[in-house]
Structure 1
Amino acid sequence: MHNPASTGYMGAADKPLFFCFDAPQRATTGATTRPFGFVLCPPFGREYVSTHRVFRQFASRLARAGFPVLRFDYFATGDSAGEDSEGSLEQWLDDVATAVDTFRNHTAGMPVWLAGLRLGASLAALYAAQHQDVGGLILWDAVVDGKRYVDTLLAAHQQRFRQTAGHGQTIPAADGVREVFGALLSPRLASGLRAIDLAALPRAPAPRILLMSSSPQADPDDLGNRLAALGASVDRKHVPWPELWAEGAEMNDVLMPPARVLQAMVDSAQGGLR
């Protein structure tokens, strides 16, 4: 029997955030005691939905390898409080901080690493650069250029709308909120996301960083060289896999967790990204 995950809510009483904590499974797997654990930062919108099972599998693999793991939903997403239109970049960075504190409360202050996918990787890097209290990062296909990210989301949604509705422009709500594949993008959130530019980070967000690429290119935005120039020890792994979040992704790709990608990240974590 493996240790069951524990779930609950964390943070302010008026903005409770859902979390799930996986204890390390050393007793049943014989895994080595690890000197650190992970907080997992999910992506946004359709990408969150299509990779939800992937994140569960990632947390399970890390726990079986001996790492404590906390995953969570940002405010106004998933099972956390908040209306769909209330999310913002500033709030979500605060949510990462809440998750880090909750992880430390569950592990008696164990050092923490962050791992994120797509926008989650961006939030992990931005939080770590601001706080300088993270031992390492796993950045899986991070959103490097926020403006390009938002423009791509809006363009893809517009194309799908035209294909299904067969006419005209999508019309924002009166307050400027737009829908992107079932998620709501407020002007405040769009502005925050557009401001993301990981290539312009002023300092290394963490001493050790794994760039995990499952896209066709190993490092399409040359982020690794930028982070190395800031003084980080950067490891790069390239395991091509169908982009689960991309427009036109096959349902089989979404339903089948990318085992080789997940195991490559766990292997790097076990080696301390050295």
Structure 2
Amino acid sequence: MTFASSAFIASQDVRRAAYDGTGRQAITRNQGSEPITIDAEQLSRLRRYEAPESEIYEEFLERRVGRGGAFALLAGPLGAPRDEGWIVCPSIGPEHGNLRRLEAIVARTLAKAGYPVLRLRPDVDPVDGLRVEIDLAARLHEVEDAVRTMTDDVGARSVGVLGSFFGATAAALACEQLALREMVLIEPVARGKAYLKEIMRRHAVAELVGTVDEHGPDGAAAQQQETAAPREQLAAEGHAALQGMGLSRAEAERIAAVDLVGDLRSFDGRSLLVGISPSGALSPSLARLRDHLASLGGQVATTVVEDPLFAPFGEYYFRNAGPVRVDTRLGLDERVASTIAAWAIGRTADAPVAAT
């Protein structure tokens, strides 16, 4: 196939991998030279690694999912897998990078318990210099393709979905849309309006910290004023930038219309709602969602993981301690993963999980 590159990339004599939708790639030079030969067997071996001490493996599947060709990363046991597989649905906004480690730990913990788990890694390489777009419909399409991959290629007889923050919201919507029977929601955002308000707040904080320079020229303040008002950008231009990602007015309206209590109408399967709180108390929004799922006839378990939360869930979680940075969330991620694995194999009762 012919690889269409941006004007900038086309001016550079660099190698790029062209994707044809089948998982196969040919490495080409941009300035019109012929494709070069690559060792497919060697690449295939590099797609997978095994961890005998944990009795799990991880591998990138050749098949990519969704209309954007997201990568599919499969984790599973080295021994015989369980019949049920899990899809990890990433969040759709700038926070998704800060949640990847949690997703990895959850996937590996479930794999160690015998479950095949498929993580999605959207291909976020911008095309022609454009920002990556916040797109809920694209994420739902990726989950749909991933479910098909889990049943057709991996061999799972049933599939559950899990996610955190707005990834949990998308997972719940996918569960309803695809009539799946199990879901795990970690600190889900029940209302789309609340999610938009939160990511705009985080954008404003990031702009304030990263752009304003009291010792700099007046232009710094002007730039901050120009870029820190996504609501005004949406109203005036129909598009806004949020920490390197683009958000259209139409997509913002679609997200704002999300309300899990209203949108989940038929799910009567098994669900786990995981809250994270410094006090160990269940939030009102999570309690409301729990009661709604129970009213639909589902089996709902709720667990609150107690943690001091140095930074709000989904935000950057390292803090400076002299010359080093301290990871403030590793213990939390591990406790969340252990809680989910225990529930998945049927050992969990409703109870808070205290901080360590």
Normalising by structure 1, report the TM-score. 0.84
Does 2:73 match 1:7? Answer: no
Which residue does 1:245 correspond to in 2? 314
Which residue does 2:284 correspond to in 1? 220
Does 2:144 match 1:91? Answer: no
Letter in 2 for 1:125: A
Does 2:244 match 1:182? Answer: yes
- How far apart are the structure 2 equivalents of 1:245 and 1:230? 29
Within-5 A mapping of 1:46-85? 46-74=94-122, 77=124, 84-85=131-132
Distance verdict in 2 for CA 1:159–1:54, change over 3 Å: closer
Letter in 1 for 2:205: Q
Does 2:341 match 1:266? Answer: yes
Does 2:70 match 1:17? Answer: yes
Following TM superposition, where does structure 1 have runs of at least 4 consecutive aligned residues deviating by more than 6 angstroms? none
Aligned residue pair count: 265
Distance verdict in 2 for CA 1:184–1:219, change over 3 Å: same
Shift of 1:18: 0.5
CA deviation map 1:167-189 (0-9, x unaligned): 32426499533222333222233
Shift of 1:246: 3.6
Contact 2:317 2:327 in 1 (8 A): no
Q: 5+ unaligned residues in a row in structure 1: which ranges?
A: 28-32
Contact 1:57 1:257 in 2 (8 A): no
Q: Larger C-alpha radius of gyration, 1 or 2?
A: 2
- How far apart are the structure 2 equivalents of 1:247 and 1:53? 12
Contact 1:26 1:65 in 2 (8 A): no
Which residue does 2:162 correspond to in 1? 115
Structure (1/2) with the larger strand percentage: 2
Matched-pair identity in %: 27
- How far apart are the structure 1 equivalents of 2:345 and 2:116? 13
Normalising by structure 2, report the TM-score. 0.66
- How far apart are the structure 1 equivalents of 2:254 and 2:130? 18
CA deviation map 1:175-223 (0-9, x unaligned): 5332223332222332222121102135243511100111344243021
Contact 1:141 1:215 in 2 (8 A): no
Shift of 1:256: 5.6
Which residue does 1:234 correspond to in 2? 300
Shift of 1:114: 0.6
- Specify the SS of the correspondent of 2:190: coil
Shift of 1:83: 5.6
Q: 5+ unaligned residues in a row in structure 2: which ranges?
A: 1-51, 213-220, 320-325, 350-356
Shift of 1:261: 1.5
Within-5 A mapping of 1:94-105? 94-105=141-152
Shift of 1:257: 5.6
